[in-house]
Amino acid sequence: MFMPTAISSVADVCRAAKRAARELARTDTAVKDAALQAIAVALGERVEEILEANELDMQNGREADIGEALLDRLRLDEGRIAAIAEAVRQIAALPDPVGEVIEGRRLANGLDVRKVRVPLGVIAVVYEARPNVTIDAAALCLKSGNAIVLRGSSSAAHSNQALVQIAAEASVAAGLPAGCVGLVAGGGREELAELATQRDTVDLIIPRGGEGLKAALEQVATVPVIYAASGNCHVYVDASADLDQAVEILINAKVQRPGVCNAAETLLVHADVAEEFLPRALFSLRDAGVLVRGDERTLALAVSANARLDGSVEPAAALLEVAEEDDWASEYLALTLAVGVVDSVEEAIEHIGRYGSGHSEAIVTRDTAAARAFQLGVDAACVYVNASTRFTDGGEFGMGAEIGNSTQKLHARGPIGLRELCTFKYLIEGDGHVRA
């Protein structure tokens, strides 16, 4: 049965994490792995408790009318819990990054210098209505020798509390220090501001959420931040694209799970194939329930294509609206897609540079020169050729689970996995060396 626990102050949780981090940095890999295995087992044993807590959040979400996309992100079931536990086991099986020698050399003066990977210390993860992040983030931080402070959204408060309690109890029972997994919850923006200014105890904050969360942190944070920010992702269909392949990639990128950051939000189509491709794409999008907000050329082509490809008469404009300027910069996280026609790969690159968020971008093409121009010209963490943007994920990249996808350029970019949760130190060994 799910039992709420007392919530400590932000400062107390962070101080406990700092104490734990000092011990975690010296903890053997075997102990960390045993703790992760214990968490995975505990998740399986306490499914009913987790589901009971999650149902409270789901009820509150339905009453607040948060929408199906957010409810899907919030929802847990036995299958999803089993998948979360399996992700923990996969992280346990990954190589420990702590102590890895990045490079080493002997200097001309005889000193031996090694650059070695070490934990960051205390990592605070701030995230919205996705309770799976609670365990993914905790497992990644513990494996990489870091203590973690979690701050989820109020919409997932009961789920997060249950999951943190399970993870903390299992990890401490397996030999990790108390305070290695902590939760701050119950407060509003003031609590977020307090967490973001714990410079004496918190080494890094990673927010997972939309632009509102990013803006809120940018105003107050004195702790370093890696933004796992929004994903305004594009699929560009080039003049030479395999159009059957392009439709499959587009539908996967938009429809498979529209409420996540690596889902496509904009389709760009080269003018040379727009007349042939767009009617097919628009019908497929409509059949999937996608609302299209198109530019003038897109709307003109949709209206002229007044018969389905199978010959039945059915207007293609059924789920079409006129695109406004804001649509090109929108992360819908829903079954809505902006669609535009461009005259070249250069124009597509320029459009992405203006409106994209630096997350994931895809080109569908059989032209090597166009693919190369797109790869070099698009400034994003992940750039795909003939593949869906949905692959931007730590698990898909073989990194285990991830804390988020960084759209920044310093330290970590793209999926934030174990190595991205470490920094390094130089270890220098001599034999009585003094500098002349």
Q: Which residue has the higher pLDDT, 173 or 70?
A: 173
Domain(s) labelled CATH 3.40.309.10 in the chain stretch across 233-391
Domain(s) labelled CATH 3.40.605.10 in the chain stretch across 10-228+403-429
pLDDT at res. 305:
65
Name which of 287, 302, 346, 296 is nearest 323 in CA terms. Answer: 296
Average pLDDT over the chain, rounded to an integer: 92
**Structure tokens of 347?**
């124009």
Q: Which residues of 212-228 are buried (b: 16+ CB within 10 A; e: fewer)?
A: ebbebbeeebebebbbb
pLDDT at res. 306:
53
Strand order in the sheet with 264-270: 320-322, 291-294, 336-342, 264-270, 233-237, 360-364, 382-385
pLDDT in tens, 179-198: 999 999 866 788 899 999 99
pLDDT band, residue 318 (cuts 50/70/90): low
pLDDT at res. 5:
54
Q: Which CATH superfamily is domain 233-391 in?
A: Aldehyde Dehydrogenase; Chain A, domain 2 (3.40.309.10)
pLDDT at res. 230:
78
As a residue count, the chain comes to 436
Share of the chain above pLDDT 90, in %: 77
pLDDT in tens, 113-157: 999 999 999 999 998 878 988 999 999 999 999 999 999 988 999
Q: Is the pLDDT of residue 7 over 90?
A: no
pLDDT at res. 403:
85
pLDDT at res. 208:
82
Q: Which residue has the higher pLDDT, 211 or 40?
A: 40
Instruction: Give every CB contact of residue 359 below 8 A, 6+ residues apart in sequence.
Output: 229, 230, 231, 232, 233, 261, 262, 380, 381, 382, 389, 392, 405, 407
Ranges 42-56, 67-81, 355-369: which has the least confidence: 67-81
Instruction: Give every CB contact of residue 407 below 8 A, 6+ residues apart in sequence.
Output: 227, 228, 229, 230, 231, 357, 358, 359, 380, 381, 413
> What residue type is 68 in one-letter code?
E
pLDDT at res. 312:
45
3-state secondary structure of 176: coil
**Structure tokens of 223?**
């702790």
pLDDT band, residue 309 (cuts 50/70/90): very low
pLDDT in tens, 422-431: 999 999 999 9
Rounded Cα distance between 248 and 387, Å, is 9
Q: Is the pLDDT of residue 104 over 60?
A: yes
Torsion angle (degrees, nearest 10) of CA 396, 397, 398, 404 = -80
Do 124 and 202 contact (CB within 8 A), yes or no?
yes
pLDDT at res. 355:
97
Question: Quick one: fold of 10-228+403-429?
Answer: Aldehyde Dehydrogenase; Chain A, domain 1 (3.40.605)
Q: Quickly list DSSP for 334-351.
A: SSEEEEEEESSHHHHHHH
**Structure tokens of 278?**
């767009």
With residue 113 as reference, give the H or E element that holds it.
Answer: strand 112-119
Q: Is the pLDDT of residue 78 over 50?
A: yes
